[in-house]
Amino acid sequence: MSDQSSSTRSALPPPPTGSRPKMTSRGRTAAPPANSNLDTSDIPEYEYFVAPGPRGYPPLTEYLDIYDVDMKRHAEEKNRTSHNTHLFNLDTLVVRRGQEFEIKITFNRPYKPSEDKFAVEFVIGSSPQFSKGTYMPVFPTKERQTRWAGRVIDTFENTVTMGITPDSSCIVGKYHMYVAVVTPYGIRRTKREAARDLYILFNPWAADDEVFLNDETERQECVMNEMGIIYHGSFDDVSERTWNFGQFNFGILDACLYILDRSEMPIANRGDAVKVVRQASAMLNSRDDDGVLVGNWSGDYTYGVAPTSWTGSTDILLGYVNSQSPVCYAQCWVFAAVFNTFLRCLGIPSRVVTNYFSAHDNNGNLKTDIILDENGRVDRGRTKDSIWNYHCWNECYMARKDLPAGFGGWQVVDATPQETSDGMYRCGPASVNAIKHGQVFYPYDAPFVFAEVNSDVVFYTRGKDGTLDPVKVNHSHVGRGIFTKTPGELTRKEITEQYKFAEGSTEERTVLQKAEEFGCKREESDPLPADVDLVLPSVELAVGQDLELSVEFVNRSQQRRTMDAYVSGSVVYYTGVTSSEFLFRTPSVTLGPNKSVKELVNIEARSYMKHLVEQANLNFIVTGKVKETGQIVTAMKVVTLRNPKLAVEVSGVAKVNEDMLATVQFTNPFTFNLEGIYLRMEGPGAMLPRFRYYSLLTPNSSVVWTESFSPQRAGITKIIASLDCPALRQVYGEASLTVEP
């Protein structure tokens, strides 16, 4: 026995040198979990059941032999058109689950059903297992069937046309296919060939699929349409921009599967739409997990592409796959648009929605606090909450078999990194119907979404001792309107009533009370409204224009009212966060009984131009304290600045595979130079993303950029262009064209 060390107080061994040891799965699981669709495990070509005889293994050659397998994989074939996968720019077969597809097998001789035994086998991921759904044999005979149905549709000479119907809840991803002939002595199989691989997707057309959507117009929009419209700006003055989701572009489907692989999501879970969308909501942002997009709201995009500059999802998804690291940069509409591409690509019906005046970072607390000092002026140092002018998220459509009946249908998912959703940067799926009815305890993250559309805005005055007294509660400001693109049209559709009952209705009050029971806390006080109203009119303003703001004070009482008002104008991000205050006035107002007075405030363009951030919004807040009553009055108005437009023109004969030209033109309308300009252009089914860089554009000079392209398919499409430079962002233009077949 030897004793080499004396007893010590701390019992930790020295840390290992080199990299920190990782958890291993040895001893914990019999096989490492299959969590990558790129991993494969080949099945042997021969599998003997019997021991070798004196002359080795018996020859299997006397049995049926397989000469060829035709997957009928091309875009114009029935497998693709009837499965609504003909738009995928891929030579591999793409089908949807719960629906039959056909393959043609050529043998060495005619197939004899009474004698010959064969199976078509589908395999996904490493360590395929029948019980996990990662190995699935399909048989041509009625007597022997698995969860995937098989049948012989037709035989002709040596060929058999076989119909295969993957289970409507099977795993979604890329499978390998084998044909195996079963003999008494063993199994003989085809070798793996890339041409026989196939993708199986979710199927909104199949009644048994959890993503079944029983409306062809909706399906055409929410699965098949590559061209999206995203609403932004402000509630009073909705702006829109076109986005190329590009879910059918070459490489996008593989990119979507790569995202799931990168997240190490077990293959066996990938048939479950709830799990797939939840995992993806975490993976679309780079927080925690090196996901697809890096969020950046700082205005400094030196090391990447400005969020406002993207015109579609293709570059982002291919960039993520090629670099294997997160793509810079995104804000909410970019997260939502790329998430939409992911969902539509895999066959989950989805749409981008915009919520105007979205309450944020309040973690299920139904209050956004605005702090005023004792004189009624906004205390910007103490007002930490913000209401986003708008926020974009996604809705996806599914049955929610994990919840009691009544909560299927549209589900909110949100990939924009929030601070507090379950401690992680993910959100949803949360049933829209559960949100409407205040059933916020059903997973996932419903209280968070409930607060985004239902919060109260509470104005407090701060006492000298640090306590806050609520002086005004605005119940209707947040979640003012929720919009999405109308299916099959280019207009917007209001879906606010799917999230909330009418303001002031009995149902609305009941729902708010119910939600409150389960942790969504509201402001309880409800101070009396003041008898003086403040009115700020809607304003349309182009970047660089002067503005005359009219502030109307209305006395609804029978007495005289006097007040010192504070008129504050700030440049704000679309997140509602103030960048800088460019205007501060303190008019004194005297109002006779039942009288009103208008104060005019003149604002020169140069006072706000130097403060502009990328999504140029001016936020005006007027507050004041009525001297006679001590009541606080407030009014807020967001003015979205109108940017100049890009001129986009197309010329040539709009016909499939014919060459055409697209021209983008822009003239600098300002009196200052524009520097570091990126122009971007792309079009759904017509042009892949392209860009051009210009270092300088002097006042009144122009850029003209012409690109040739040839449309890939018939129908209406657009060429979408953007211009982006640090001094001027969010400049868009587009041209429509109708492509003949």
Residues belonging to the binding site for Ca(2+) are 454, 456, 503, 508
CB of 319 to a copy of itself, least distance (A): 4
Rounded Cα distance between 492 and 230, Å, is 9
> How is residue 5 annotated by DSSP?
S
What residues pair up with 739 in beta bridges, in sequence order?
A: 715
Rounded Cα distance between 410 and 432, Å, is 6
Of 580, 701, 716, 740, the one binding a copy of itself by CB under 8 A: 701
* 332-346 helix and 273-283 helix, angle to the nearest 10 degrees: 150
CB of 598 to a copy of itself, least distance (A): 32
Of 369, 452, 724, 734, the one binding a copy of itself by CB under 8 A: 369
Determine if 422 is a binding residue for a copy of itself (CB under 8 A). yes
Of residues 230 and 327, the one with the C-beta less far from a copy of itself: 327
Total of chain residues touching a copy of itself, rule CB under 8 A: 137
Question: Edge to edge, what strands does the sheet with 456-462 contain?
Answer: 367-372, 456-462, 468-474
Contact window for a copy of itself (CB under 8 A) among 493-501, 538-546, 601-609, 692-700 = 692-700
Contact flags string 607-626 toward a copy of itself, x per CB under 8 A: ------x-------------
Are 408 and 277 contacting, i.e. CB atoms less than 8 angstroms apart? no
Of 464, 548, 558, 653, the one binding a copy of itself by CB under 8 A: 464
Rounded Cα distance between 720 and 578, Å, is 31
Determine if 456 is a binding residue for a copy of itself (CB under 8 A). no
Of 645, 702, 716, 740, the one binding a copy of itself by CB under 8 A: 702
Are 507 and 429 contacting, i.e. CB atoms less than 8 angstroms apart? no
- 3-class DSSP assignment, residue 668: coil
Of 71, 94, 103, 119, the one binding a copy of itself by CB under 8 A: 119
Of 707, 710, 727, 736, the one binding a copy of itself by CB under 8 A: 707
Of residues 222 and 721, the one with the C-beta less far from a copy of itself: 721
Strands (E), 405-546: 409-413, 430-431, 456-462, 468-474, 481-485, 492-494, 532-535, 541-542
What residues pair up with 201 in beta bridges, in sequence order?
A: 96
Of residues 368 and 484, the one with the C-beta less far from a copy of itself: 368
CB of 279 to a copy of itself, least distance (A): 5
Residue 130: phi and psi, rounded to 5, are -55, -45
Determine if 144 is a binding residue for a copy of itself (CB under 8 A). yes
CB of 243 to a copy of itself, least distance (A): 15
Contacts of 610 (CB under 8 A, 6+ apart): none
Determine if 50 is a binding residue for a copy of itself (CB under 8 A). no
Of residues 16 and 741, the one with the C-beta less far from a copy of itself: 16
Contact window for a copy of itself (CB under 8 A) among 62-70, 230-238, 360-368, 528-536 = 360-368
Of 93, 171, 305, 603, the one binding a copy of itself by CB under 8 A: 305
- Give residues 198-217 in contact with a copy of itself (rule: CB under 8 A): none
Determine if 466 is a binding residue for a copy of itself (CB under 8 A). yes
Of 232, 472, 680, 718, the one binding a copy of itself by CB under 8 A: 680
Contact window for a copy of itself (CB under 8 A) among 151-159, 347-355, 684-692, 724-732 = 684-692
Rounded Cα distance between 616 and 389, Å, is 11
CB of 668 to a copy of itself, least distance (A): 9
Of residues 107 and 178, the one with the C-beta less far from a copy of itself: 178
| Residue positions annotated with a catalytic role | 332, 391, 414
Are 65 and 185 contacting, i.e. CB atoms less than 8 angstroms apart? no
- 3-class DSSP assignment, residue 349: coil
Determine if 51 is a binding residue for a copy of itself (CB under 8 A). no
- Give residues 497-526 in contact with a copy of itself (rule: CB under 8 A): 517-519
Are 633 and 534 contacting, i.e. CB atoms less than 8 angstroms apart? yes
35: its two tokens: 């969590």
Contact flags string 546-585 toward a copy of itself, x per CB under 8 A: ---------------------------x-x-xxx------
Are 647 and 656 contacting, i.e. CB atoms less than 8 angstroms apart? no
Determine if 299 is a binding residue for a copy of itself (CB under 8 A). yes
Rounded Cα distance between 337 and 416, Å, is 11
Contact window for a copy of itself (CB under 8 A) among 294-302, 486-494, 501-509, 595-603 = 294-302
Of 114, 467, 506, 558, the one binding a copy of itself by CB under 8 A: 467
Determine if 146 is a binding residue for a copy of itself (CB under 8 A). yes
Rounded Cα distance between 266 and 287, Å, is 20
Determine if 689 is a binding residue for a copy of itself (CB under 8 A). yes
Rounded Cα distance between 29 and 23, Å, is 12
Determine if 192 is a binding residue for a copy of itself (CB under 8 A). no
Of 296, 663, 710, 736, the one binding a copy of itself by CB under 8 A: 296
- 3-class DSSP assignment, residue 287: coil
Contact flags string 242-281 toward a copy of itself, x per CB under 8 A: ---------------------x-xx-xx--x--x--xx--
Binding residues: 454, 456, 503, 508
Of residues 3 and 548, the one with the C-beta less far from a copy of itself: 3
- Give residues 166-185 in contact with a copy of itself (rule: CB under 8 A): 180, 182
CB of 419 to a copy of itself, least distance (A): 5
How large is the C-alpha radius of gyration of the chain?
31
CB of 293 to a copy of itself, least distance (A): 9
| Closest CA relative to residue 202, chosen from 309, 95, 117 | 95
Place of tokens 């959507």: 213
Of residues 486 and 665, the one with the C-beta less far from a copy of itself: 665
> How is residue 15 annotated by DSSP?
P
Rounded Cα distance between 676 and 140, Å, is 63
Burial readout 84-116 (b: 16 or more C-beta within 10 A, e: otherwise): bbbbbbbebbbbbbbbbbbbbbbbeeebeeeeb
Of 102, 167, 261, 315, the one binding a copy of itself by CB under 8 A: 315
Of 408, 443, 527, 726, the one binding a copy of itself by CB under 8 A: 443
461: number of CA atoms within 13 Å, CB side? 18
Contacts of 620 (CB under 8 A, 6+ apart): 536, 549, 567, 568, 569, 583, 636, 637, 638, 639
Are 543 and 616 contacting, i.e. CB atoms less than 8 angstroms apart? yes
Residue 522 CA, distance from chain mean position = 29
Contact window for a copy of itself (CB under 8 A) among 130-138, 200-208, 351-359, 532-540 = 130-138
Neighbouring CB atoms inside 10 A of 602's CB total: 11
**Residue 26, amino acid:** R
Distances (CA, A) of 296 to 180, 308, 419: 53, 11, 14
Of 419, 540, 658, 740, the one binding a copy of itself by CB under 8 A: 419
Are 87 and 74 contacting, i.e. CB atoms less than 8 angstroms apart? no
Of residues 88 and 460, the one with the C-beta less far from a copy of itself: 460
| Closest CA relative to residue 120, chosen from 159, 178, 81 | 178
Determine if 444 is a binding residue for a copy of itself (CB under 8 A). yes
- Give residues 370-409 in contact with a copy of itself (rule: CB under 8 A): 371, 382-386, 401-404
Neighbouring CB atoms inside 10 A of 322's CB total: 11
> First vs last Cα of the chain: how many Å apart?
90
Of 288, 531, 533, 552, the one binding a copy of itself by CB under 8 A: 288
CB of 99 to a copy of itself, least distance (A): 22
CB of 2 to a copy of itself, least distance (A): 5
- Give residues 17-46 in contact with a copy of itself (rule: CB under 8 A): 20-31, 33
Of 114, 323, 491, 506, the one binding a copy of itself by CB under 8 A: 323
